Chain A
Amino acid sequence: KAGVTQTPRYLIKTRGQQVTLSCSPISGHRSVSWYQQTPGQGLQFLFEYFSETQRNKGNFPGRFSGRQFSNSRSEMNVSTLELGDSALYLCASRLTWSVSTEAFFGQGTRLTVV
C-alpha cells in the first residue's frame, strides 16, 4: 500500500513569506503528526491531528499552524518565515490514537528560508 506522501519535497522561501506543506497519510489512518528536524534541535514535535481535531501541540510559536481535512490529509502552515525555520518537516500517520500504535513517516519536506 502507498506510504505517507509529503509534498513538496523541497522548497525555498524568502524571509517573511508564508508556506504551506501537505501530508497525505496512509489510507485508513486517522492520526497525522508533524515534526521539525534540525541539526541543532533534532526531531521536535509540532502538533497532532486526529479526526480533524488538534489533539496535542508542541512548544512552537503561533506562526506554526495546521489542519486536517475529512479525508485525513493534513496541511501545516508557517507564516512570516524566519531563517531559523529552515528544517526538514516530517509528517507521520497512525492508524489509531493508541500509544501502542506505530507511526509511519513520510520522507519529509526540506524547507530552506533565505
Chain B
Amino acid sequence: DAKTTQPNSMESNEEEPVHLPCNHSTISGTDYIHWYRQLPSQGPEYVIHGLTSNVNNRMASLAIAEDRKSSTLILHRATLRDAAVYYCILRVSGSARQLTFGSGTQLTVLP
C-alpha cells in the first residue's frame, strides 16, 4: 500500500494560516490524495481531496507538488474549532478501496 508521512504534531495561532505537510513518495498515477480530520470525540470528517491539480473548497485548500510526491493542506485562518487530528490518505484504485489511516498530525490552535 502507498504510505504517507506526516509530522506528529503542529501548533498554530488562532486566525493565522496553517500549512500541514504530507509526504507520499510512493504515490502512483491514479492515487487520489484525501484529507480527513477528527475532532475530539467525533468521527473523522472529510476535508478535501485531489488528484493532480490544486483544489479549494470552503474548508481548506490542497496544494499538490508537481511530482505528486508531497502535498500540503492549507487552512487559511485557523480557528479553535480546527484543533483536530488531520489525516492525509491515499485512495488507491483497484479492489482495496478502504481508507488507510496513518497516525496523522495533531493540530493545536493557540488563542
Whether A55 lies near B34 (C-beta < 8 A) is no
Given contacts A45-B100, A56-B97, A58-B98, contact A103 B46 (CB under 8 A): yes
- A66 in the interface (beta carbon within 8 A): no
Residues in chain B near residue A97, CB distance under 8 A: 97
Q: Which residue of A lies closest to B34 (CB)?
A: A102
Residues in chain B near residue A45, CB distance under 8 A: 98-100
Surface stretch bound by B, among A13-21, A79-87, A105-113 = A105-113
Whether A102 lies near B49 (C-beta < 8 A) is yes
- Mostly helix, strand, loop or mixed at chain B's interface? loop
Whether A48 lies near B97 (C-beta < 8 A) is yes
State how many residues of chain B have any CB contact under 8 Å with chain A.
25
Q: Which residue of A lies closest to B101 (CB)?
A: A43
- B26 in the interface (beta carbon within 8 A): no
9 A-B residue pairings within 8 Å (CB atoms)? A35-B99, A43-B87, A56-B97, A58-B98, A92-B43, A99-B93, A103-B46, A104-B46, A108-B43
Instruction: Please provide the 5 A-B residue pairs with the shortest distance between their CB atoms, ordered closest to farther.
Output: A105-B43, A43-B101, A99-B91, A102-B46, A45-B98
Residues in chain B near residue A44, CB distance under 8 A: 101
